[in-house]
């Protein structure tokens, strides 16, 4: 009986060694490191606003002021992503804000949303490009400013705030900003349209 077990045991060991050697021979391993560069968005507000000549408010003064947004890469070329931009304007004094009227407002390229107070640029901006100016200036309508505060408003500021979002994956500015504002609902909407 022992004589039968020994050849069986040797046969089993030989089979295991052959199977292991064959498996090792037919397996292959290679290591590859994948590297990826991420694009980014760097935008800046550009204003062309020469020093204004002081004009009494009663005369309804007008001033030149062009406001643009540029998509700039800084020192690294080729990594700047295309983007959509929006901007909002606020005033250092609410009373002057009631009397300011933008002149030369570009409604062909910019769309105002009264619900959130932003002007949206319709077009995608590529690396190194700038938007068309939102406006060419502003005028102060003295009729819209309360007489109580008119004398106290000598200097004021128009504050410009801008935001940008990458354009990749979006067909237009509306879908990009909708996704930015509510990514969960926008993602569900995108899946429903696919």
Q: pLDDT tens for residues 90-145?
A: 988 777 778 889 999 999 999 999 999 999 999 999 988 999 999 999 998 888 87
pLDDT average, residue stretch 37-45: 79
pLDDT score recorded for residue 15: 67
Say if 15 falls within a structural domain: no
Say if 172 falls within a structural domain: yes
2 pLDDT more than 70:
no
DSSP code at position 73: -
pTM of the model: 0.74
Domain hosting residue 182, numbered range:
43-193
Say if 166 falls within a structural domain: yes
Q: Are 75 and 101 in contact (CB under 8 A)?
A: no
Say if 38 falls within a structural domain: no
Q: How many CA atoms within 13 Å lie on the side-chain side of 168?
A: 10
Total domains present in the chain: 1
Sheet holding 62-64, edge to edge: 62-64, 137-140, 100-103
Paired residues of 103 in beta bridges: 137
176 pLDDT more than 90:
yes
Higher pLDDT, 18 or 118: 118
Which segment of 77-86, 162-171, 173-182 scores lowest on mean pLDDT?
A: 77-86
Say if 29 falls within a structural domain: no
């Amino acid at each position: 009986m022992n004589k039968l077990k020994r050849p069986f045991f040797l046969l089993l060991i030989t089979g295991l060694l052959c199977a292991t050697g064959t498996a090792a021979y037919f397996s292959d391993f290679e290591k590859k490191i994948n590297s990826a560069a991420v694009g980014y968005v760097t935008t800046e507000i550009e204003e062309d606003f020469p020093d204004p000549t002081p004009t009494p408010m009663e005369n309804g003064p007008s001033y030149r002021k062009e406001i643009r947004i540029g998509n700039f890469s800084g020192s690294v070329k080729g990594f700047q992503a295309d983007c959509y931009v929006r901007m909002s304007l606020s005033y250092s004094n609410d009373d002057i804000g009631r009397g300011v009227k933008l002149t030369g407002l570009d409604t062909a390229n910019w769309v105002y949303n009264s619900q959130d107070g932003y002007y949206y640029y319709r077009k995608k901006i590529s690396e190194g490009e700038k938007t068309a100016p939102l406006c060419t200036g502003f005028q102060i309508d003295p009729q819209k400013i309360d007489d109580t505060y008119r004398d106290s408003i000598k200097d004021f500021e128009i504050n410009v705030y801008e935001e940008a979002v990458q354009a990749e994956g979006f067909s237009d500015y509306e879908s990009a900003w909708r996704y930015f504002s509510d990514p969960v609902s926008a993602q569900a909407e995108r899946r429903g349209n696919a």
